[in-house]
Amino acid sequence: MMLTGAEIIIECLIREGVKVVFGYPGGAILPTYDAFYKYRNQVHHVLVRHEQGASHMADGFARATGQVGVCIATSGPGATNLVTGLATAMMDSSPIVAITGQVPRAAIGSDAFQETDVTGVTLPVTKHNYLVTDIHELAYVIKEAFYIARSGRPGPVLIDVPKDIQNEKMDFVYPEEPVRLPGYNPPAGATEQDVQDALELINNAKKPIILAGHGVMMSGAMQQLRELAERAGIPVTLTLLGKGAMPEDHPLTVGMMGMHGAAACNYAIQEADLLIALGMRFDDRVTGNLKTYSPNSKKIHVDIDPSEINKNVKVEVGIAGDLRTVLSQVLPGVKSNSHPQWVGQIRDWLEDGNERDILNNYTGTKLLGAQVINDLWRYTGGEAITVTDVGQHQMLEAQYYPHRRPSTMLTSGGLGTMGFGFPAAIGAKFGMPHEEVWAIVGDGGFQMTMCELATAVQENVNINIAVLNNAYLGMVRQWQEFFYDERYQSTPMVNPDFVKLAEAFGIPAMRVTSRDQMAESVAFARNHQGPVLIEYVIEKEEIVYPMVPAGADLHNMIRRPKPGEKEGATA
């Protein structure tokens, strides 16, 4: 069959099962857009308003479904606008394939109009990238790109396709043979010795704790994790991206660890005699000062990426492998056990946290961010897919919206990309059309990508947007309050009227200023098909507690004082 390079691109996307792509046209990618016209009944193209949005949508789609998300852009500025989204996906191991147009081969290197060295620019923020130089390579490259993106430790892959290759024709046969890459062999399972070493530690620990991360969900090891925890009686603490790895209402799930994690979890990590780290990577946001990190514990680390083992934290047993496979190997040897005293100790710490919890002590009248999130949890039955932006509201979501199901809390953890939440929520909804999807965003981050309101309207995407408006870059303001003597340089914001703004896009909107409107606001959002925006006007100077200051010891948290205690007490 004689096909153009552009048609081959789409034939290959269809073979990969792609039904929706997020993109923006331009000169160097126009032949492919013409092919999208031809295939418009097979692949739906979502026109975004900024290519960054396309990359986050592909990412949100990927995180929600576990499938590869696809975004597409033209050369030069189109491609460079994808970079933030690629870096975001890279840091959080999210599988996306980005296709960019490039100037014709003959013009490469001549500083042609809209020419950028896109493979050069994106090299450090992609798992792999390609510049296609021959139409006969095109189908293989696309097949490899999808394979690389979704296998092993997933990540973004970019394919740069010169315009003349998109126009060229060849007699096309789809390459049915499986991808074979000599230098790419994601590790499979553990050796017998690894299994024995791990069991020795697991079966003899007195104060063990499991640190569960994103990898649990990527590998589909939720059941195995739960079995391990239940059989050996080991409490589980979650990373930010690990939320959903274990139901948060499970009696052994003790909460989130790290900078804004539950103090109980951080104390437990510091006190433990065994850390079992599963599909997490000891990011500085969860370890604090590495020199004093969990000083008395032996450590087991399982991760699909061998370069993560012993990178930040030295471990006794390091296993590079697929978590579900490894846990299945380990489970038969795990002895039935319980650690009532240890779990009781953690419960006591949790109780102390409850006594400090603002939800249990607040006497003011202003609406709190914590209340908004907790009520969203309550009125959505804890069953929504929430997609957050970055800042205080993100940490509040992590603290006050417990999730029961995997991949229902999507957030930019590694890169902390403001502007991620809203477009990623659109992508998630495309992937999971039958789920209730809420974008939970701050007033700052929302303004970075709010142009996608137009996309949401054009596509009639049925999502709910909760803007937590504190008129501040709240998280930065919090740092300024703690560490810069309340010098609020460049954090107060004069904001647009978000309700009017939404209405200008044709989006129903509501402003909420007090807690008794919370139930109504959720009902309002649910009653509208298509995008809805709710602005929650919240307390301006709320603080997210506890907080491990950057670089501090994990147990040296700034805690919220108990009623009657003095402000600023640390424990």
Ligand X SMILES: Cc1ncc(C[n+]2csc(CCOP(=O)(O)OP(=O)(O)O)c2C)c(N)n1
Nearest distance, CB of residue 440 and ligand X, angstroms: 9
Nearest distance, CB of residue 189 and ligand X, angstroms: 37
| 538: Cβ contacts below 8 Å, ≥ 6 apart | 366, 367, 368, 369, 372, 468, 469, 470
Tell whether residue 137 is a contact of other proteins (CB under 8 A): yes
Tell whether residue 468 is a contact of ligand X (CB under 6 A): yes
| Candidates 120-128, 448-456, 535-543, 551-559; binding stretch for other proteins (CB under 8 A) | 120-128
Closer CB to ligand X, 58 or 87, in the complex: 87
Taking alpha carbons only, the member of 404, 410, 483 closest to residue 441 is 410
- Which pair of tokens denotes residue 69? 């998300």
Q: Which of 61, 147, 472, 536 binds ligand X (CB under 6 A)?
A: 472
**Phi first, then psi: what are they for 68, rounded to 5°?**
-75, 130
Q: Which of 54, 139, 424, 537 binds other proteins (CB under 8 A)?
A: 139
- The strand pairing partners of 175, in sequence order, are none
113 is a catalytic site residue:
yes
196 binds, among ligand X, Mg ion, other proteins, none (CB under 5 to 8 A by kind): none
Tell whether residue 158 is a contact of ligand X (CB under 6 A): no
CB atoms within 10 A of CB 216: 30
- The strand pairing partners of 274, in sequence order, are 208, 298
CB distance 276 to 323 below 8 Å: no
Interaction pattern, residues 270-309, with other proteins; x per rule: CB under 8 A: -----------------------------------xxx-x
**Helix (H), strand (E), coil (C) string for 150-201:** HCCCCCCEEEEEEHHHHHCEEECCCCCCCCCCCCCCCCCCCCHHHHHHHHHH
Nearest distance, CB of residue 444 and ligand X, angstroms: 3
Closer CB to ligand X, 14 or 558, in the complex: 558
Tell whether residue 85 is a contact of ligand X (CB under 6 A): no
42 is a catalytic site residue:
no
Closer CB to Mg ion, 411 or 470, in the complex: 470
Candidates 143, 163, 207, 243; catalytic one: 163
Question: How many residues touch ligand X (CB under 6 A)?
Answer: 20
Tell whether residue 476 is a contact of ligand X (CB under 6 A): yes
Nearest distance, CB of residue 148 and other proteins, angstroms: 6
Starting at the edge strand found earlier in the chain, the sheet holding 317-320 runs: 253-256, 236-238, 208-212, 274-278, 298-303, 317-320
307 binds, among ligand X, other proteins, Mg ion, none (CB under 5 to 8 A by kind): other proteins
Tell whether residue 106 is a contact of other proteins (CB under 8 A): no
Nearest distance, CB of residue 10 and ligand X, angstroms: 33
- Phi-psi group of 412: left, alpha or beta (phi > 0 → left; psi -120 to 50 → alpha; rest → beta): beta
**Phi first, then psi: what are they for 416, rounded to 5°?**
60, 55
How does strand 2-4 pair with strand 169-171? antiparallel
**Helix (H), strand (E), coil (C) string for 273-298:** CEEEEECCCCCHHHHCCHHHCCCCCE
135 binds, among Mg ion, other proteins, ligand X, none (CB under 5 to 8 A by kind): other proteins
> Which residues, 183 to 212, sit near other proteins by CB under 8 A?
183-184
Burial of 257 (0-12, 13-18, 19+ CB in 10 A): buried
| 504: Cβ contacts below 8 Å, ≥ 6 apart | none
418 is a catalytic site residue:
no
> Which residues, 162 to 181, sit near other proteins by CB under 8 A?
170-175, 177, 180-181
Candidates 51, 168, 397, 539; catalytic one: 51
Q: Which residue has the tokens 């009248």?
A: 365
- Which pair of tokens denotes residue 49? 């308003």
Q: Which of 56, 163, 393, 555 binds ligand X (CB under 6 A)?
A: 393
Closer CB to Mg ion, 61 or 498, in the complex: 498
**What residues make contact with Mg ion under the rule CB under 5 A?**
442-444, 470, 472, 474
Q: Which of 311, 347, 404, 528 binds other proteins (CB under 8 A)?
A: 311
Candidates 475, 518, 547, 557; catalytic one: 475
Candidates 67, 114, 458, 517; catalytic one: 114
Nearest distance, CB of residue 320 and other proteins, angstroms: 8
Taking alpha carbons only, the member of 327, 213, 187 closest to residue 280 is 213
Q: What are the DSSP calls for 205-221, one per residue?
A: -SSEEEEE-HHHHHHT-
206 is a catalytic site residue:
no
CB distance 99 to 161 below 8 Å: yes
Closer CB to Mg ion, 86 or 467, in the complex: 467
- Which pair of tokens denotes residue 410? 């999507």
> Which residues, 430 to 449, sit near ligand X by CB under 6 A?
442-445
248 is a catalytic site residue:
no
Per DSSP, the chain holds a count of helices (H) and strands (E) of 24, 20
Nearest distance, CB of residue 128 and other proteins, angstroms: 5
Residues tagged active-site: 51, 113-114, 163, 475
Q: Which residues bind other proteins (CB under 8 A)?
A: 119-120, 123-124, 127-128, 131, 134-137, 139-140, 148, 170-175, 177, 180-184, 305-307, 309-311
Q: Which residues bind ligand X (CB under 6 A)?
A: 389-393, 416-419, 442-445, 468, 470, 472-476
